[in-house]
Structure 1
Amino acid sequence: MHPLPTESRVRAIVRMLAFAGFVSMAGCASTQPAGTPAEKRWLVTGSLLYVAPDRPPLANAWLLVNGDKIEAVGTGSPPAVGSGSAQACNGGVIAAGFQNSHVHFTDDSFANAATRAPKELEQSLARMLTRFGYTTVVDTGSQLANTTALRQRIASGAVLGPEILTAGSPLYPHNGIPFYLRQLQPEILRRLAQPATVEEASVQVRRNLADGANGTKLFVAAPVGQGEIRRMNPQIASAAADETHRLGGLVMVHPTDPDGVRSAVAAGADIIVHTTIDPAGSSWDAPLIAGMVARKVSVVPTLKLWRYELDKEQVPAEVREKIVGLAERQLKAYIDAGGQVLFGTDVGYMTDFDPAEEYSLMARAGMTPMQILASLTTGPAARWRKEALRGRLETGMSADLVVLNGDPAADVKRFADVKCTFGAGRLLFQREGF
């Protein structure tokens, strides 16, 4: 194996970890989502319906929605509900709405979210998220005020889009701004939190959550150049995690390397937001994985991201696949030990929004189609303590659902082949031609 030189490879792998609130990404063409169903009660029918990943699918099924809730689910002849049914979305494979647990609202098209025209925001949301079935997303680093403004407009009904959870502004090690951020303007760099004391970390956490964050993102390890990784003081990391938990939030950690994963687990992390491919030959040993599982630490694999970064650096395909294989083996060992996986792609940093490859890589790492479905639905719902509201298609649950064009049990790439997306009973996306 011939990995990239240390500095170049670090730059290739961790550039995406820049504090996304200050980074702009180019947009691409989008499909504009449709409006809401015409009536309060409406019906969608499907060839198959997945109530939950741990239950067999229902054939020749239907689902009745009343307002923002599921009124009934059944098979055979559907009830009559009049002309307001979702006729255009009939005939596919129905599942609970998906959650992408690693996104960034960093594209210029999301700027000025408080005042931007609703249709412009909806086009951007469809391009990146709702056309792939996401009804809930977790923003793991952005400009908090802008993201909360976008969230509020979606919640109010002014903009059609997914439910947004956000970590707001990350915390970095003291004097640990990653080298790839040093080109930012001085006034921006001064705003990046680098707590030097336990109290500074606690204050920053309280400020973020008071301003609308749902949790805290910690960089427990940051590459600062010349091969050096600056690490967050363990007491500071633990204090930030403790304060986050006291306030009811979750702790998300970017680890950089296996030692960073160990630090995250020790600090009390709830979610590790990446697998790791640094240093060369990186692996998660059995004691580390056992500790993660025992402490119920979830993992967002982001496997496609590594290919994306290495391709940008023009790493030869055979070398790239060996490097990506490190992350796949970490994921396999983790799921074999009973760990909880949360699906996530790092879109918003990554401008290739299509998740089909991520699904394929997860399957190659050993995940079954139903384990992948769980990572999209019941897993994140439970992780965010929302299992009573979403993640399954049952009476009384939120009417968050996705209609696929084929059965993902036969081909996991079908998870990305979305016909329609509904959030809280509203049609967020409908593919053209249906």
Structure 2
Amino acid sequence: MGLLPTGRLRGLLLSLSCLLPLAAAPALSQGRPGGQQAKPDHYVLVHAGTLLAVPRQKPQSQMTVIVKNERIVGVARGFLTAAPDAAAGATTQIVDLSDRFVLPGLMDAHVHLAMESSFGRHRAERGDRNPPTGAERAVNAIEYSRRTLAAGFTTVRDVGSDDQSVFAVRNAINAGRMLGPRILVSGGALAATGGHADGLPLDATGDPQKRLEDGTCDGPYECRRAVRYAYKLGADVIKFTATGGFSGNTGTEPEMFPDEMEAIVSTAHILGMKVAVHAYSPVAIRQAVAAGVDSIEHGFLLDDEGIRMMKARGTWLVPTLSASYPPPIFRVPNPESVRLRNEYKAFERAYAAGVNIAFGTDAGTFTHGDNAKEFELMVRFGMPAMEAIYCATLSTAKLFGLDKEAGSIEAGKVADLVAVKASPLDDITQLRHVDFVMKSGRVAKKDGAMTEPFTYPPVALSF
């Protein structure tokens, strides 16, 4: 069974099968066709002092999570010292978290792994006024993805990278060549000419190839082509900007026509990709929901009609409260900023109305690795701690199409676990201090320290 069974997301299956210790690589033998000997199963018995296996359900004390290779095969009461039904030759590792609170790996539906606000400031302080190169963005994405995993986020969705750097990092992680979270990637956001994510200089605005590479599109035909181009690059998800935002001066009113939005959504869905839309204004949100988008990103000016439509259609809200609290790091003059910073009531009303809410932070507009501050804001603005954890696990897994494979600690699911020293149900700030991380059955962080980067097994040359 694949982690991501439909569409382009199948590529992330590699993240389940490749992240194995180098010593566990298949040995050569005469015992099987092709000379390969089956590698023995590896079990990890995680002793959890308190286990929140399924968010929204009651935590249990003194439990063992039984992990076989990259998947959970069971949860048992008490602290087991041997794996049930283990075949001869299987290896077993015990991880003692008997004084920890264990919960599923966290998910973030809105990050920007190739950027961080501090990086631009540091460049300016050095007197470097040139834009970062693709190579620099790739190096950044490696560092930021590692920080993100260290913070307990085992799966993230990157919804805005200006080049192919995050594609490369995703592929390296999936191949087991480096340490990082499972990443769903959109590539650059699609935008109308002159819109929020239009990055083209004036002299390139009419160049068809540069428009395609930038994701700038006008009219249904060009927008369909932009989606297909992103698909060809290897995108897992499509993101487009329907309005401006904090980091620009294009305002908050619609920047695309409904037929352009519909073209983007229908093309992406045919290709098996979900669609996220950056949208602030009530009109743009309603148009995007009517077009069939899967998630509204930000949604700071969401109104009652938009809430009604989202609930009726099952559209997710990714609130990104962290992007506007404290005031945004982007100091671009924008008369909407002050009003938008006070629009947490949209989040409160959406939650009260029963709109699907996923966990998303907009990390990159602030420091990567500080994603957990979103929990504190969600709780501050009326969401119980258990519900906030549910949003960052099962709810976001449902948005990703992963809820059958991840998001809870249950038999058959991928073994993504994190641990903290005390219950986040009593003190949500505990989630800022994750000191144990397991991704795909592999311990990535223990006792507060990251393990060595994963090493891809060497290839046997035939010459």
The 3 A distance-change label for structure 1 pair 419 and 153 is same
Give deviations 1:269-314, integer Å, cap 9, x for gaps. Answer: 11111132xxxxxx43322211111111101111121124446659
Note the 1:2-401 alignment, pairs <5 A.
40-80=42-82, 84-87=93-96, 89-107=97-115, 112=135, 123-127=143-147, 129-143=148-162, 145-173=164-192, 175-178=193-196, 190=211, 191-222=213-244, 225=249, 229=253, 231-276=255-300, 283-310=301-328, 313=331, 324-326=341-343, 328-351=344-367, 353-401=369-417
In 1: Cα distance, 2:293 partner to 2:399 partner: 12
* Residue identity in the other structure for 2:341: V
How big is the shift at 1:50? 0.8
The 3 A distance-change label for structure 1 pair 344 and 122 is same
How big is the shift at 1:216? 1.1
* Residue identity in the other structure for 1:86: V
Q: TM-score, normalised by structure 2?
A: 0.74
Q: Is the 8 A contact 2:44 2:66 kept in 1?
A: yes
How many percent of aligned residue pairs carry the same amino acid?
27
SS at match of 2:224: helix
Note the 1:382-421 alignment, pairs <5 A.
382-421=398-437
How big is the shift at 1:356? 3.9
* Residue identity in the other structure for 1:133: G
In 2: Cα distance, 1:189 partner to 1:225 partner: 23
Q: TM-score, normalised by structure 1?
A: 0.79
How big is the shift at 1:239? 0.7
SS at match of 1:427: strand
SS at match of 2:390: helix
Higher relative contact order (CA closer than 8 Å, sequence separation 6+): 1
In 2: Cα distance, 1:387 partner to 1:235 partner: 31
Gaps of 5+ in 1: 1-34, 277-282
For residue 17 of structure 1, what is the aligned residue in structure 2? Answer: none
How big is the shift at 1:84? 2.4
SS at match of 1:393: coil
In 1: Cα distance, 2:250 partner to 2:175 partner: 48
In 1: Cα distance, 2:64 partner to 2:338 partner: 42
Root mean square deviation, CA, Å: 3.4
In 2: Cα distance, 1:253 partner to 1:333 partner: 20
Q: Is the 8 A contact 1:96 1:377 kept in 2?
A: yes
In 2: Cα distance, 1:110 partner to 1:135 partner: 27
Give deviations 1:11-36, integer Å, cap 9, x for gaps. Answer: xxxxxxxxxxxxxxxxxxxxxxxx89
Q: Matched residue pairs, number?
A: 385
In 2: Cα distance, 1:364 partner to 1:96 partner: 22
Q: Is the 8 A contact 2:146 2:179 kept in 1?
A: no
The 3 A distance-change label for structure 1 pair 210 and 121 is closer
Q: Is the 8 A contact 2:318 2:357 kept in 1?
A: yes
SS at match of 2:94: coil
SS at match of 2:103: strand
Q: Is the 8 A contact 1:220 1:232 kept in 2?
A: yes
